Chain A
Amino acid sequence: MNKKILAFLLVLVMVASMFAGCGASESAGNELTLWMAPMAGSDAEITDEEFWTEIGNEFGAANNCTVKVEIIPWDSYEEKYLTGVTSSDGPDVGWLYMEMFYDYIEMGALVDLDAHFTDAEKDNYLYYNLGNIQGGQYALPFIVGNPRIMLANMDILAQAGVEAIPTTWEELAAACDAVLANCPGVIPLVQDWGNPHYGSLNEIFWPYFWSAGGEIVDDAGNLTINSAEGLVATELLYDMAQKGYLGANATACDDVKVPFSNGEAAFVFMASGNALKLEGINWEYVTALQGPQDAETFVAADSLVMFESCENKELAAKLMKYLTSSDVMSRYHKTITDQPPITADEEYTGSEKYAGLFTDDAGMLRSLPVFKGASSMYDALYKNIQSMMLGELTPEEVLTKTTEYYDSNLK
Chain B
Amino acid sequence: MKQKRLEATQGYIYILPSLILILSFSIIPIFMSGVFSFTEYNVMNSPKFVGLENYEKVLRDEYVRAALVNTLKYVLITVPIQTALSLTFAAFLAVKMQNKSGEFLRSVMFIPVIASAVTSGTIWRTILGTDGGILNSIIGIFGFDPVNWLGDSKTSLISICIVAIWKNVGYFLVIFYAGIMDIPKSLYEAARVDGANTYQQFFRITLPMLKPITSLVVTLGIIWSFQVFDLSYQMTGGGPGYSSVTIVMAIYNAAFKQYKMGYACAMAMLLLVIVLIINAVKQRVFGEKED
Spell out A's residues near B (CB within 8 Å).
4, 7-8, 11, 14-15, 18, 75, 78-79, 82, 85-86, 103, 106-109, 193-198, 249-254, 259, 373, 375-376, 379-380, 382-384, 386-387, 389-390, 392-393, 405, 408-410
Interface contact A249-B43, CB-CB below 8 Å: no
Whether the pair B130, A252 counts as a contact (CB closer than 8 A) is: yes
Range of interface residues on B (Cβ < 8 Å): 35 or more
Interface centre among B17, B20, B63, B236 (most CB of A within 10 A): B17
Q: Which one of B20, B129, B240 lies within 8 Å of A15 (CB-CB)?
A: B20
Q: Assess A15 versus B130: contact at CB under 8 Å? Given A193-B240, A196-B235.
A: no
- CA distance in complex: A384, B57 (Å): 21
B residues near A107, Cβ cutoff 8 Å: 42-45, 259
Residues of B within 8 A of A250 (CB): 151
> With the chains together, A259 CA to B21 CA distance in Å?
51
CB atoms of A195 and B237 under 8 A apart: yes
B residues in contact with A109, CB < 8 Å: 44
Inter-chain contact B17/A15, CB cutoff 8 Å: yes
5 contacts between A and B (CB under 8 A): A103-B42, A109-B44, A197-B237, A379-B257, A383-B239
A405 in complex: contacting residue of B13, B45, B62, B240, CB < 8 Å: B62
The answer on a CB contact under 8 Å between A11 and B62 is no
The count of A-to-B residue pairs whose CB atoms sit within 8 angstroms is: 114
> What CA separation (Å) do A147 and B283 show in the bound complex?
57
Please give, as numbers and ranges, the residues of chain A lying within 8 Å of B189 by CB-CB distance: none
- Chain A residues with Cβ below 8 Å from B118 are 75
B288 on the A face (CB < 8 A): no
Which residues from chain B contact A193 at a C-beta distance below 8 Å?
151, 240
The reply to whether the CB of B14 lies closer than 8 angstroms to some CB of chain A is: yes
B253 touches A4 (CB 8 A): no
Flag whether B188 is at the interface (Cβ < 8 A). no
Instruction: Name the residue on A nearest B245 (C-beta).
Output: A383
The complex places the Cα of A109 from the Cα of B259 at a distance, in Å, of: 13
Interface string of B189-213 (1 = CB under 8 A from A): 0000000000000000000000000
In the complex, the answer to whether A194 meets B61 with C-beta atoms within 8 Å is no
8 tightest CB-CB pairs across the interface, nearest first? A196-B237, A252-B130, A251-B151, A107-B44, A387-B241, A386-B240, A79-B256, A252-B151
Q: B256 near A376 (CB under 8 angstroms)?
A: no
Please determine whether A379 and B253 come into contact, CB atoms closer than 8 angstroms.
yes
Shortest distance between the CB of B152 and any CB in chain A (Å): 7
Bound form: Cα–Cα A408–B64 in Å: 13
Interface contact B258-A382, CB-CB below 8 Å? no
Q: Does A390 lie within 8 Å of B258, measured CB to CB?
A: no
CA distance A392 to B243 in the complex (A): 11
A408→B60 CA distance, assembly (Å): 10
Distance in angstroms between the alpha carbons of A15 and B15 in the assembled complex: 11
CA distance A78 to B257 in the complex (A): 7
B166 sits at the interface (CB 8 A): no
- Distance between Cα atoms of A130 and B66 in the complex (Å): 38
Once bound together, how far apart are the Cα atoms of A15 and B18, in whole Å?
A: 9
Q: In chain A, what residue has the closest Cβ to B121?
A: A196
- Bound-state CA distance A250–B150 (Å) is 12
**The residue from A7, A15, A382 contacting B239, defined by CB atoms under 8 A apart:** A382
CB neighbours of B242 from chain A (8 A): 383, 387
Contacts of A78 in B (CB 8 A): 256-257
Beta-carbon contact of A383 and B241 below 8 Å:
yes
Partner pick for B241 among A8, A86, A392, CB 8 A cutoff: A392
| CB-nearest residue of chain A to B153 | A390
**CA of A19 to CA of B290, assembled, Å:** 34
B259–A82 CB distance below 8 A: yes
Per-residue CB proximity of B26-70 to A under 8 Å, as 1/0? 000000000000000011110000000000010011110000000
Q: How far is the CA of A188 from the CA of B63 in the complex (A)?
A: 34
Taking the nearest CB of chain A, how far is it from the CB of B85, in angstroms? 27
Q: Give the CA-CA distance A56 to B118 in the complex, in Å.
A: 31
Give the distance in Å from the alpha carbon of A376 to the alpha carbon of B258 in the complex.
Answer: 7
Chain A contacts of B137 at CB under 8 A? none
> Which among A8, A195, A198, A383 has the greatest number of chain B C-beta atoms within 10 A?
A383
B127 to chain A, nearest CB (A): 13
Chain B residues 223-268 with CB under 8 Å of chain A are 233-242, 245, 252-253, 255-259
Which residues of the partner chain A approach B241 to less than 8 Å between Cβ atoms? 383-384, 386-387, 390, 392-393
Contact (Cβ within 8 A) A194 B258? no
Complexed CA–CA distance, A410 and B63 (Å): 12
